[in-house]
Amino acid sequence: MLTKIEIRRHRHWLAGAILLISLGSLTGCDRDKPVAVTKAAPGPIPETPQRPGDPQAGYDVLVNRAVVTCGLPYDAYVAATEAETFDPASDYVLAGRRGRNAELPYALTAFTAESGVELVTSNCLGCHAAPLNGELVIGLGNEFLDFTADPVMAVEGAGAYVDTDAEAAEWQRWADRIGAIAPWSMTDTIGANPAQAITLALMAHRDPETLAWSDEPLLPPPSVEVLPASVPPWWNLGKKHAMFYNAEGRGDHVGYMMLASTTCTDSVAEAREIDAWFKDVRAYLATLEAPVYPYPVDAELAAEGERLFNRECSDCHGRYGERERYPNELVALDEVGTDPAMAEQAYRHTERFARWFNTSFYGRNAEAQPGLGYVAPPLDGVWATAPYLHNGAVPTLAALLDTRERPTYWRFESASPAYDQAALGWRHERLGQGREQFASLDEQKWVYDTSRRGYGNQGHDYGDLLDDQERRALLEYLKTL
Ligand code: HEC
Ligand code: HEC
Contact call for residues 136 and 92 (beta carbons, < 8 A):
yes
Burial 17-41 (b: 16+ CB within 10 A, else e): bbbbbbbbbbbbbeeeeeeebeebe
CA of 95 to the centre of ligand 2 (A): 35
Any ligand 1 atom below 6 A from CB of 368 = no
Pocket test for ligand 1, best of 202, 231, 265 (most atoms within 8 A of CB): 231
Indicate if ligand 2 lies below 6 Å from the C-beta of 399: no
- Burial level of 98, CB count in 10 A (0-12/13-18/19+)? exposed
Predicted pLDDT of residue 32: 43
Q: What is the dihedral of CA 160, 67, 377, 351, to 10 degrees?
A: 80
Q: Could you say which ligand is closest to the alpha carbon of residue 350?
A: 1
**196 CB less than 6 Å from ligand 1?**
yes
| Distance of alpha carbon 116 from alpha carbon 471, whole angstroms | 60
pLDDT, tens digit (0-9, with 9 covering 90-100), for 57-101: 999 999 999 999 999 999 999 998 887 754 445 588 899 999 999
Q: Are 480 and 297 spatial neighbours (Cβ–Cβ below 8 Å)?
A: yes
Mutate to test the pocket of ligand 1, among 45, 124, 278, 353 (most ligand atoms within 8 A of CB): 124
Cα(169)–Cα(181) distance, rounded to whole angstroms?
19
Q: CA 343 to CA 29: how far, in whole Å?
A: 21
Is the CB of residue 282 below 6 angstroms from any atom belonging to ligand 2? no
Task: Please tell me the pTM assigned to this model.
Answer: 0.93
Distance CA 342, CA 346 (A): 7
pLDDT at 178: 94
Measured CA to CA in angstroms, residue 407 lies from 342, 431, 448, 457 at distances of 21, 8, 9, 8
Query: For residue range 148-158, what is the model confidence (pLDDT) as tens digits?
Result: 999 999 999 99
Tell me how far apart the 2 most distant CA atoms of the chain are, in Å. 69
Is the CB of residue 249 below 6 angstroms from any atom belonging to ligand 2? no
For 424-444, give one letter per residue: b (16+ CB within 10 A) or e.
Answer: bbbebeebeebbeebeeeeeb
Nearest to 242 by CA among 233, 232, 234, 252: 252
Kindly state if the Cβ of 202 falls inside 6 Å of ligand 1.
no
Q: Which stretches in the chain have pLDDT values below 50?
A: 1-33, 86-88
What is the Å distance from ligand 1's center to 310 Cα?
30
Is the dihedral angle over the CA atoms 342, 347, 352, 357 positive or is it negative?
A: positive
Question: What pLDDT is attached to residue 427?
Answer: 98
Distance CA 377, CA 239 (A): 9
The predicted pLDDT at position 91 comes to 80
Query: Which atom belonging to ligand 2 lies closest to the Cα atom of 330?
Result: 12
Q: What atom of ligand 2 comes closest to residue 382's alpha carbon?
A: 26
Query: What does the angle CA 117 – CA 118 – CA 120 come to, to the nearest 5 degrees?
Result: 130
